[in-house]
Amino acid sequence: MIRQATLEDVPKILEIFNYHIEHTTVIYHYHKRTLAQMEDWLSQQQQLNFPVLVTEENGKLTGYGTFGQFRPHEAYQFCVEHSVYVSPDHQGKGFGKQLILELIAIAKKENYHNMVAGIDAENKFSIQFHQKLGFQEVGYLKEVGYKFDRWLDLVFLQLQLN
């Protein structure tokens, strides 16, 4: 099942987000977020009319995804960057694919022109996953992130929506 997130989903969204902060280079943050921060984030996404979707299995939230404007300047208004995160015990079961396909459908319906993904270069699975969905690699930034005592490269992939 896939649906719009509600305030009641924020604790589980927070748990997934913080797991990735603490254990992976999927998110280039150092410090876990608080419940209040994530509640504010959801409210801001909703006010800006950006989707926040969740997937569920047997009533348990398994992942979430969203998109927002690529950069905060007017000329970027037709380009969005997406984020999809799945609970570690539900990865590889198709929840991420459900989320990104629905985000793409929403972006097309809302007449966005491009969708961008910024992916840690070591995350070969995510890069290949995006390429299978039609995303093309358009940029490679060397050593722009630093986490877990090492430099990280960032790959940008892009999907033309219309």
Give mean pLDDT, residues 137-161: 98
User: Rounded to two decimals, what is the model's pTM?
Assistant: 0.95
Banded model confidence at residue 33, pLDDT cuts 50, 70, 90: very high
**pLDDT, tens only, 35-66:** 999 999 999 999 999 999 999 999 999 999 99
What is the CB neighbour count within 10 angstroms for residue 133?
15
Q: pLDDT tens for residues 82-104? A: 999 999 999 999 999 999 999 99
pLDDT above 90: residue 162: no
The string of DSSP letters for 14-26 reads HHHHHHHHHH-SS
Q: Confirm if 83 and 21 have CB atoms less than 8 A apart.
A: no
Cα 113 → chain centroid: 18
The answer to whether the CB of 104 falls within 8 A of the CB of 161 is: yes
